[in-house]
Amino acid sequence: MLALVAAAVVAGAEPLWRQEFEGQVPGERPQSWGVGWGDSGDDLLLVSNLRAASGSRSWLLDRTAQNAVTMCGYSTRFVNVAAGWLNLSVSFLVQGKDLNVRLGLEVRGANPGDRLVAVGLNGGAVSFSTPDGKSTAALGEYDEDRWHRVRLWLPTAAGGQEYAVALLERRGRDGWEPAGPAGRIPARVPASGYGTLMPCTWPGKRGYLLFLDDLTVDPAERPPG
Residue 109 in any domain: the answer is yes
Q: Is residue 2 part of a domain?
A: no
If one counts the domains in the chain, the total is: 1
**Model confidence band, residue 176 (pLDDT cutoffs 50, 70, 90):** very high
Q: Where are the beta strands (DSSP E) in 51-123?
A: 58-63, 72-77, 85-95, 102-109, 115-122
Tens digit of each residue's pLDDT (9 = 90 or more) over 3-61: 333 333 344 558 999 999 999 999 999 999 999 999 999 999 999 999 999 999 999 99
Per-residue exposure over 56-94, b if at least 16 CB sit within 10 Å of its own CB, e if not: ebbbbbbbbeeebebbbbbbbbbbbbeebbbbbbbbbbb
CATH number, position 151: 2.60.120.200
Tell me the pTM: 0.93
Evaluate if residue 78 carries a pLDDT over 50.
yes
Domain range holding 104? Answer: 19-220
Predicted pLDDT at 70: 86
Domain contains 10: no
* The predicted structure's pLDDT at residue 6: 38
Q: What is the pLDDT of residues 130-162, one digit of tens each?
A: 999 999 999 999 999 999 999 999 999 999 999
Q: What is the pLDDT of residues 198-208, one digit of tens each?
A: 999 998 899 99
Residue 123 clears pLDDT 70, i.e. is over it: yes
